[in-house]
Amino acid sequence: MKVALFLLALSILVVNGASKVKLCNYNGKNYRRGQTALMLPFCCTKMVCSSNGYFSYPTYGKGKKCGCCIDPFNKNNFIFDGQYGRLKG
């Protein structure tokens, strides 16, 4: 009997934990973990929803065409070299 109650309690915890999926929101649309919200080919990066509910910006290429960086005033925007007087870091 104790084992059955323990398993029931454990299954309730698992179901409650699974229902709390963190979503990323961009332009009024929700994205699940791993979904790409925006491709930025001129930056050689993309905007991907991470597991903690925030966007990450993995790079997928290098070269002269990758001439931008994250906007220091708005983390969801990118700026080209020379804007705001800052170079890409």
Report H helices in 1-89.
2-18
Statement: residue 67 has pLDDT above 70: no
Token pair of 52, please? 């903690």
CA distance 85 to 61: 24
pLDDT in tens, 16-60: 445 567 899 988 999 999 999 988 776 677 889 998 888 887 777
pLDDT at residue number 30: 92
Torsion angle defined by CA atoms of residues 63, 54, 26 and 49, in that order, rounded to the nearest 10 degrees: 60
Statement: residue 70 has pLDDT above 90: no
Q: CA angle 32-34-37, nearest 5°?
A: 70
Q: CA angle 27-33-38, nearest 5°?
A: 40
